[in-house]
Amino acid sequence: MVSQELEYAGFWIRVWASIIDTLLICVLAYPLLTAIYGDAYWDSTDFVHGPMDFLISWVLPAAAVMVFWLTRQATPGKMAIAARIVDAKTGGKPTTGQLLIRYLGYFVSSIPFGLGLFWVAFDSRKQGWHDKMAGTVVVRKKAGSTRPVEFEA
């Protein structure tokens, strides 16, 4: 359920949000990983270099995403494009369970050549597989709408 002032956020605008989030993670992780493992870290083909690599590259980004989703209904990238994640049925704030399923759903969406992510481009509600699994949609203020939209915190 989307109000008249909101629209589903489409594929390309969500790509921009993802690029912003990825750049922010890189700006934080690059100096930390380089300080801990040295410049050789970036030349290695190892998937994980040690516990700090796993923590910085996997755990902290996942925790940050969940904290942003729980507190702001959006990551910094989604905030930059004025989008938020809402419950697909009510338009309200998603539950913690929905957001956890949504995060894990990113892995499912990515496995078959990213098909579940590209699905956003073709779906009438602009849902990726991760959104469908979690029962969420991503919305933003309609272009040209003059009425301010209150985002739930």
Domain residue ranges in the chain: 6-141
pLDDT given at position 85: 97
pLDDT value of position 149: 45
Cβ neighbours, 10 Å, residue 4: 8
End-to-end CA distance of the chain: 18
Please tell me the number of Cα atoms within 13 Å of 104 on its side-chain side: 8
- As averages over each run of 10 residues, the pLDDT of the chain (153 residues) reads 78 96 96 92 86 93 96 96 95 96 96 94 96 97 61 42
Q: Are 145 and 5 in contact, with CB atoms under 8 Å apart?
A: yes
Helix runs in the chain, H state only: 11-37, 51-54, 60-72, 76-80, 96-110, 115-118, 129-134
Give the full edge-to-edge strand order of the sheet including 83-87.
6-8, 136-141, 83-87
